Amino acid sequence: MPPASLLVFGASGFFGPHLVRAAHRRGWHVHAVSRRPAQAPRSAGVAPNEVHTFDALSLDGLSPLVDAVRPSAIVLATALARVDECEREPARAAALNTELPAALARVARARALRLVHLSTDLVFGARPPRAARYDEDDPPCPVHAYGRTKAAGEARVLEADPHALVLRLPLLYGDSFGRGLGASDQLLAALERGERPTLFHDEWRTPLEAGNAAEAVLELASGDARGLLHLAGPVRLNRYELALAVLEAHGLAARASSLRSAPRSALGQESLRPGDVSLDARRASGRLACALLAPAEALR
């Protein structure tokens, strides 16, 4: 049986509302954590059962919050995820991406709570994978502060709580419920504004639709998997190919001429945008009842 209650940190970001909606479908009582009550997430009319105010940069309130909620399980989706912000504010990146996960892992272990910490494919990129894609045995090799702080957070979580589960997620796309967030809605919003987005043809990912990813995260949260697993789509695409798939799915294939295909070097991005961080998700797939879908299936 799934846990009776779920505490979601990072519930007001792009991915958080998908977690809230998927948890509701599973019958969970959802507690969402937000820095401000007004930021409580809502996805297609589905809101968390309760919203709790917490400043992730101040860890003093972490234990009291968990004790007040007494959740059956915790999903940590909070992060400083903008690569440029992490470069400008390394201390803040370390606080949110490393120190918060470590502190929450200590709290979870002390209370025997199920913790699922969400990480990223961008812990890779400085060296090629041992095989065609990065699997869980490839050591992290980040190229920027975001990847370094997330890799450190993973290690600290598993050190503090060996029963925790760390899930590395890929580039996420899908509905942002009118907020223009995520790989696909950012693209569509830019086209709506009359812009000509530049998409890199030498940046390869294994993208996953956010709702599909949320279902997989919560299924794994209900189980006993621990350690490190990769969640990713089955198809390796560059950013330009993903954009074409999004336009096709939205009946906008004729707008493809509005896209610019370019190498990362055209915008001086090659140092902070790794060329290939494709993930091998076969281990997670073997544990999941839900399929991890390619864009052509997920966007139908």
DSSP-derived pairing of the beta strands 114-120 and 165-169: parallel
252-256 own/partner pairs: CB under 8 Å, 24+ apart = 252/188, 252/191, 255/191
Name the phi and psi angles at 213, rounded to 5: -65, -40
Q: Which residues 6+ apart lie within 8 Å of 251 measured at CB?
A: none
**pLDDT class of 46 with cuts at 50, 70, 90:** confident
User: Residue 101 corresponds to which tokens in the numbers above?
Assistant: 């996960």
CA distance 123 to 148: 7
pTM of structure: 0.95
pLDDT 10s digits, 173-220: 999 888 888 999 999 999 999 999 999 999 999 999 999 999 999 999
DSSP-derived pairing of the beta strands 114-120 and 73-76: parallel
Does the pLDDT value for residue 33 go beyond 70? yes
CA distance 147 to 137: 17
CA distance 229 to 285: 10
pLDDT mean over 237-265: 96
DSSP-derived pairing of the beta strands 237-238 and 204-205: antiparallel
Query: In 10 A of CB 196, how many CB atoms?
Result: 10
CA distance 240 to 229: 27
Does the pLDDT value for residue 292 go beyond 90? yes
**pLDDT class of 36 with cuts at 50, 70, 90:** low
Contact between 292 and 232 under an 8 Å Cβ cutoff? The reply is yes
Give residue limits of the domains in the chain.
Answer: 5-173+208-234+278-293
Across the chain, mean pLDDT equals 94
The CATH number of 5-173+208-234+278-293 is 3.40.50.720
CA atoms within 13 A on the CB side of 75: 32
Does the pLDDT value for residue 3 go beyond 80? no
CA distance 118 to 209: 15
pLDDT score of 185:
93
Q: Which residue has the tokens 């699922």?
A: 116
pLDDT mean over 35-42: 57
